[in-house]
Amino acid sequence: MKKSTPKKSARKNIVGLPAAFDESSITAEQFREIRTNIQFSSEKAVSTLMVTSAEQSEGTSSVASNLAVSWAKLGKKTIFIDANLRNPSVHDTFCVSNQLGLASMLDDSNVCLKKVIKKTQIKKLSIMTSGVSSENPADLLNSNRMTHLIKELKKDFDMVIFDTPAILPVADGRILATKVDGVILVTPQGIARKHSVIKAAKFLRSVHANLLGAIFNKVVTKNKY
């Protein structure tokens, strides 16, 4: 008898998430270690975290999404938010619509929180895409509605993780950094420029952001260590 072809798992539609679907991999273990380091990196409990980089295209979204998965795998109710309103990617990663999201809620008081939170196939993990808006992204992130939103999310979730634009090109990340408990700076090997990373760190400190540390990304090693 000819065997029927099994249906492809829905998880195959979600790419770049070893922390979710390859938990025994070295990469997944590294994200678990990073999660632990973040938990003990500050005297104050970190429940809102922003992941950014010095310049564009340095792997921020991939790192942020895997960190969010790692927290959810710990059993923490987690929400991953695309605050990169200029170049969003979370909707592509999780294969969902981006019609409504963070920007649309901040821009329109008629859009409620329940409409923009989407559950994922990963237990304990929800997402909020960027949404669309005609307003200036920096103004939206700097609004009182954004401050209120973070307070509301902290009531409903154990961990809130934001993917944000790079620090140097636009002010968006620097604005959001003042509203969260901690900031992680992604620094890819062979791509990030030393003076840019130093400048980004100075910018974050100038707004009194709680810079927890950096993640050295895209590292090429000769062995698993």
Give whole-number Cα distances, 195 to 37, 202, 204, 214, in Å. Answer: 25, 11, 14, 15
157-206 residue pLDDT tens: 999 999 999 999 999 999 999 999 999 999 877 777 899 999 999 999 99
pTM, whole model, 2 decimals?
A: 0.86
What the block records as the tokens of 171 is 């002010």
Contact criterion met (CB below 8 Å) for 57 and 140: no
Residue of 49, 56, 62 whose CA lies nearest to 93: 62
Residue 218, pLDDT above cutoff 70: no
Residue of 61, 74, 62 whose CA lies nearest to 32: 74
In sequence order, what are the residues at sequence separation of 6 or more whose Cβ sits closer than 8 angstroms to the Cβ of residue 196? 54, 55, 168
